[in-house]
């Protein structure tokens, strides 16, 4: 009972205030682990989301990522072959963490980080001071759209312009971005193929939806189409 009370007090009162040290998130070192945490190695961190990025990004792709966070998703996108990652993050604190993550991997030149809130700032991991604002329709053209923005996914998809070949979306049901609503918006954008991947083992409350433009599949199946 006492140990449970201590753990609860630490999580609710102290955890966000103690110094940060390096932890390993899905194989990527990040200086974002609270120094008193018992576990600093997280092999299953965003397992399904990162696997979807590995499988969904092709060599030479431009990736537009909303929710830069610790920088782990950007590392995976570059490793998968992205020629450029354009990443948006509203919290200055997370940009500092994620930039160090990229620097450790020697990938900082491959990722353009923009301190901006896209759509609604529903839940930021830090303060938005100094952040610009970008409407979903103003996002740059890309091959792959990746959304991990703590509930803002539905507003972004609802206001998005021309959809890219592929979209990878982490859902956040408690924050208003349910699997069903995200799937509905992806269908409205014209994606005919929408597959659901597990987010993390033992985390069934949300999932990762991967939406594919059928025209991309058709081009891949008939590479000589239109060539005389």
Domains, the chain, with CATH or none: 44-221 (3.40.50.150)
Residues in the chain with pLDDT < 70?
1-20, 33-39, 214-228
Do 24 and 40 meet the contact criterion of CB atoms below 8 Å apart? yes
In this prediction, residue 88 carries a pLDDT of: 96
Name 41's bridge partners.
Answer: 24
Give me the pLDDT at residue 14, please: 47
Instruction: For strands 166-170 and 132-134, give the pairing.
Output: unpaired
Burial code (b: 16+ CB inside 10 Å, e: under 16) for 149-184 equals: bbbbbbbbbebbeebbbbbbbbbbeebbbbbebbbe
CA 155 to chain centre: 15
For CA atoms 176, 178, 183, 184, the dihedral sign is negative
Q: What's residue 221's pLDDT?
A: 55
E strands, 38-173, where?
41-42, 62-66, 84-89, 111-118, 132-134, 144-147, 166-170
* Residue 80 token pair: 């998968």
Alpha carbon distance 44, 136 (integer Å) = 30
The predicted-structure confidence for 65-85, as pLDDT tens digits, reads as follows 999 999 999 999 999 999 999
The reported pLDDT for the residue numbered 15 is 47
pLDDT tens digits, one per residue of 145-175: 999 998 899 999 999 888 899 999 999 998 8
Judge whether 168 and 156 are in contact, CB under 8 Å.
Answer: no
What pLDDT is attached to residue 10? 43
């Amino acid at each position: 009972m006492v140990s449970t009370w201590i753990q609860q007090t630490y999580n609710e009162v102290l955890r966000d205030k103690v110094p940060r040290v390096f932890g390993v998130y899905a194989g990527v070192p990040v200086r974002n682990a609270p120094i008193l945490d018992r576990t600093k190695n997280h092999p299953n961190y965003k397992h399904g989301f990162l696997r979807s990025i590995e499988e969904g990004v092709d060599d030479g792709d431009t990736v537009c990522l909303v929710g830069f966070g610790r920088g782990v998703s950007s590392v995976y996108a570059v490793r998968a072959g992205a020629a450029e990652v354009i990443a948006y993050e509203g919290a200055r604190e997370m940009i500092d963490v994620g930039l160090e993550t990229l620097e450790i991997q020697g990938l900082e030149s491959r990722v353009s980080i923009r301190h901006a809130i896209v759509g609604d700032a529903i839940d930021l991991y830090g303060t938005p001071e100094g952040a610009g604002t970008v409407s979903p329709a103003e996002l740059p053209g890309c091959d792959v759209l990746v959304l991990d923005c703590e509930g803002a996914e539905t507003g972004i998809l609802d206001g998005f312009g021309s959809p890219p070949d592929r979209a990878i979306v982490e859902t956040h049901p408690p924050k208003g971005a349910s699997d069903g609503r995200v799937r509905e918006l992806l269908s409205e954008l014209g994606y005919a193929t929408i597959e659901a991947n597990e987010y993390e083992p033992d985390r069934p409350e949300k999932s990762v939806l991967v939406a594919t433009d059928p025209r991309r599949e058709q081009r891949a199946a008939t590479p000589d189409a239109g060539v005389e």
